[in-house]
A and B are shown apart, each in its own frame.
Chain A
Amino acid sequence: MIMKLLATDFLKIKRKGLWFLTILGPLGVVLLQWVNYELVPGRREWLLQRSDDDWLFYLQNVNSFTPLALVLGITILTSLAASIENETNAWKQLIALPISKMGVFLSKFTVLAFLLAIASVLLFFFTWLLGIYLDLGAVIPYAQIATFSFYPYFASLPLLALHLWVATVSNNQGIPISLGVIGFLFTSYSFKLPDWLPWKWPSLQNQWDEPLVNVVLGICVGIILYIIGMLDFARRDVK
């Protein structure tokens, strides 16, 4: 059943700009570094002087924007996905079909998690390509590029679960958008946030300096928030 729902959900996101955003996000993050390194003459040399490990320094620069792009992306993607059903209250048509409500929620979550995963893969390739273009050194640190591309994804799963929950149960899309704006501001100042706030996690910072903690937290809390959201969605009446 879930495969049928997924096929339907992928059909529904056609022409809604979700795929476009999926590509735009990682491209934007990496293009900002191209601007940072290349646009002002002499700036590249200055940046390279600032550290011994040019690749790592570059990756940290890229990663300063990744969490913001993720939070923004999650807000917009979930809101768009919910608006597809909200526009003509297609929920009542969808839920009256022989499917489980939990399946409907799982399918939406899976589609969005998949799009964000694609975005992370693209981020990996774009980061790698720009790194080569910037000539940062012959030894390419693939493991580190992967860390900076995929860890933020897992660390932001709680936000995805939270946003999907809020977007699907709100009749007024202003609510999830407001939540997204607040989240965006939180993420902008993530270095000042306490470790337990999920908006800090995509930045991969924590007091132990161990990014893997954020990944584990992200997956665990993500699953918990996902289950809460799914149960609440299934419990509610469709108006």
Chain B
Amino acid sequence: MEYIVETHHLTKRFGKEIAVNALNLKIPRGEVYGFLGPNGAGKSTTLRMLLGLMRPTAGSIRIFGKDLKKERISILRNVGSLVESPSYYSHLTAYENLEAMRKILGSPKEKIDEVLDLVRLSNAADKKVKSFSLGMKQRLGIAMALLNDPKLLILDEPTNGLDPSGIIEMRNLIKRLPKEKDITVLISSHLLSEIDQVATYVGVISKGKLIFQDSIKAMRNKAQLKIRLKVSDANNAYRSLLAKGIKTHYQDHIIYLYEQSDEAVAAVVETLVDEGYSVYRVEEEHQSLEDIFLKMTAGGDDR
């Protein structure tokens, strides 16, 4: 697989606190990589290091196969970014804001109209950004990020502060980009539902450590279902099953089955009935992605 971004033991320390701890990110080409983690887990710090805004304490970053330390400028030529709250010059119009960036990037002038059109700000092009709503400012931020036709787009919490229709619009835009323009997208969020709807690949960070990294499919597979049994005298029932050589898991008066085939479930129920226990309920329990995420990042919010 071709990786657009690859970090090796990426670490950032602020004084004694380790904000990012030995991160090995691998972002495959053409994917929408969802970078997921609670607030304060180290997402923004990581993205800032990828953009060369912060220097890593240790570790290395390779983007497009080039070393960021040595070839920062040539890498950034092909990177677009929107980090946290959008940055703009409020005393300038939307067009002037883009023009200020375009002058540095050296893109053609037509590009400004193109990106304004893409984020549907053409009508507000000559208004001062001061008068924009938060959603409009956010869209201007996206337009800025797309001005240089990036091959890698880094978006930090891009739907923060958007209204529902704005969120949907942003989502559609992010989904479209890899297919239409061969852009690899790195998008961070603390909301799983956000990532779930756009990402094809996921990295989960908690307390500065990467605790999961794989395709979103692999993450969904983790969200397997369980069979739970509610029976009379559950503790003894659990022991009788064990005596019969059927392994289960007992917790809070509920018996969970490891084997989930129809035959295995039928055999367990039969055994219990034979032993004289009443079976009240046999249920499937879905573990949602949200549950998995919460379990993975448990305690991540307390810093």
Contact = CB atoms under 8 A, between A and B. Distances in A.
Interface of A: 4-5, 7-8, 11-12, 14-16, 84, 87-100, 237-238
Interface string B77-112: 101010111111111100010011101111000000
Contacts of A16: 91
A16 B89 CA distance: 11
Given A88-B86, A90-B89, A237-B53, A11 B48 contact: no
B90 A87 contact: yes
Contacts of B104: 4-5, 8, 97-99
A237 B52 contact: no
A98 B52 CA distance: 10
Given A89-B85, A92-B83, A238 B53 contact: yes
Contacts of A14: 91-92, 96
A98 B55 contact: no
Contact of B89 (A84, A96, A98, A237): A84
Counting contact residues on chain B (CB < 8 A from A), the size range is 20 to 34
27 contacts: A4-B103, A5-B104, A7-B103, A8-B103, A11-B100, A14-B91, A14-B92, A88-B85, A88-B86, A88-B87, A88-B88, A89-B85, A90-B89, A92-B83, A92-B84, A92-B87, A93-B83, A93-B88, A93-B101, A94-B87, A95-B51, A96-B83, A97-B101, A98-B72, A100-B73, A237-B54, A237-B55
A34 B74 CA distance: 56
Contacts of B72: 98
Contact of B73 (A4, A87, A88, A99): A99
Nearest to A100: B73
Contacts of B79: 96
Contacts of B103: 4, 7-8, 11
Contacts of B84: 92
A231 to B, nearest CB: 14
B76 A92 contact: no
A93 B140 CA distance: 12
B172 to A, nearest CB: 24
B106 to A, nearest CB: 7
Given A12-B100, A97-B101, 5 more contacts: A11-B100, A92-B53, A93-B101, A98-B104, A99-B104
Contacts of A89: 85, 87
Interface string B39-51: 0000000001001
A96 B53 contact: yes
A17 B73 CA distance: 33
A7 B106 CA distance: 12
Nearest to A87: B90
Q: Which of A5, A15, A98, A99 has the most CB of B within 10 A?
A: A98
Contacts of A11: 92, 96, 99-100, 103
B91 A98 contact: no
A98 B76 contact: yes
Nearest to A88: B87
Contacts of A88: 85-90
B144 interface: yes
B119 to A, nearest CB: 16
B132 to A, nearest CB: 11
Contacts of A99: 73, 104
A133 B92 CA distance: 41
B88 A90 contact: yes
Nearest 8 CB-CB pairings of A with B? A93-B87, A238-B53, A90-B87, A98-B76, A237-B54, A98-B77, A96-B51, A98-B73
A5 B76 CA distance: 16
Contacts of A4: 103-104, 106
Contacts of B77: 98
B163 to A, nearest CB: 20
Contacts of B85: 88-89
Interface string B56-80: 0000000000000000111111010
A5 B91 CA distance: 18
Contacts of A12: 89, 92, 100
A51 B87 CA distance: 58
A237 B106 CA distance: 26
Contacts of B89: 12, 84, 87-88, 90
B22 to A, nearest CB: 19
A84 B144 CA distance: 17
Contacts of B73: 98-100
A12 B90 CA distance: 10
A99 B73 CA distance: 6
B263 to A, nearest CB: 58
Contacts of A91: 87
Contacts of A238: 48, 53-54
